[in-house]
């Protein structure tokens, strides 16, 4: 958990540095607004059916929530995914029709299409799971100030994976105007999603 907190601090520092300033308390939103917003990379990844999927070209909803993590993550990833799934239960059908939720693995060597599909389905079958080439995932993550790295091998034979811990929003202009910390509550996220959808 100590490593996760360190990664969170580094990740958020990268966000503030990359965007040139962020408002900690935007009016009406729990999340942190970015000014200017990030321009999301169009580099295609791969969905659980094996098809190409770009976070710009294939997200045609009014709002998309994106989280970068991996299925073997021991703590933060499961917490955030549960929050995303719980948030969906708080929205109306009309709101959910205007929203996509996307999980992008940062560990494509282990997270194959089938592994990712099983993982996201356990939280909510409507969540879109993506994998792909590690270099492509790194490029897409970098465009949203998410640092991704596969660390040193662990005594167990596995390895730790560095990834962002924030949930990021992509709007209809393929930009990221706001993000939320990993500890955002379902109620807070549902409130902000509603506000962002109401803004159009």
CATH code, 81: 3.40.30.10
Whether 106 and 141 have beta carbons less than 8 Å apart is answered as yes
Is pLDDT above 60 for 8? Answer: no
Question: Model confidence at 179, in pLDDT bands (50, 70, 90)?
Answer: very high
Does this model's pTM top 0.75? My answer is yes
φ and ψ at residue 147, rounded to 5 degrees: -80, 135
Residue that wins the pLDDT comparison between 10 and 172: 172
Token digits for 190? 């549902």
Instruction: Point out which residues pair with 45 in neighbouring strands.
Output: 53
Whether 144 and 152 have beta carbons less than 8 Å apart is answered as no
Domain limits at 79?
A: 2-199
Torsion angle of C-alpha atoms 103, 121, 115, 133, degrees rounded to 10:
-20
Number of domains composing the chain: 1
- 26-36 confidence digits (pLDDT tens): 358 999 999 99
pLDDT for 19 equals 33
Distance set, CA 151 to CA 131, 140, 148 (Å):
18, 19, 9
Average pLDDT, the chain: 85
Is pLDDT above 80 for 162? Answer: no
pLDDT for 4 equals 40
- 36-74 confidence digits (pLDDT tens): 999 999 999 999 999 999 999 999 899 999 999 999 888
Whether 52 and 88 have beta carbons less than 8 Å apart is answered as no
At residue 120, the 3 state secondary structure works out as helix
Residue among 130, 10, 154, 124 nearest 58 (CA): 130
Token digits for 15? 């966000």
As a whole number, mean pLDDT of residues 103-120 equals 96
């Amino acid at each position: 958990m100590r490593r996760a907190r360190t990664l969170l601090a580094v990740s958020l520092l990268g966000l503030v540095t990359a965007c040139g300033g962020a408002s900690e308390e935007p009016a009406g939103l729990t999340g942190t607004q970015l000014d200017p917003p990030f321009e999301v990379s169009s580099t295609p990844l791969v969905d659980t059916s094996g098809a190409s999927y770009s976070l710009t070209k294939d997200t045609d909803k009014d709002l998309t929530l994106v989280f970068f993590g991996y299925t073997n993550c021991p703590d933060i990833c499961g917490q955030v995914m549960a929050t995303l799934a719980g948030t969906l239960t708080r929205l109306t059908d009309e709101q959910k029709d205007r929203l996509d939720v996307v999980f992008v693995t940062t560990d494509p060597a282990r997270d194959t299409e089938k592994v990712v599909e099983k993982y996201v389905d356990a939280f909510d079958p409507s969540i879109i799971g993506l994998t792909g080439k590690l270099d492509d995932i790194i490029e897409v993550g970098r465009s949203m100030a998410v640092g991704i790295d596969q660390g040193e091998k662990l005594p167990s034979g596995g390895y730790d994976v560095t990834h962002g811990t924030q949930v990021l929003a992509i709007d209809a202009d393929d930009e990221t105007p706001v993000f939320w910390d990993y500890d955002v509550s379902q109620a807070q996220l549902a409130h902000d999603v509603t506000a962002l959808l109401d803004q159009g």
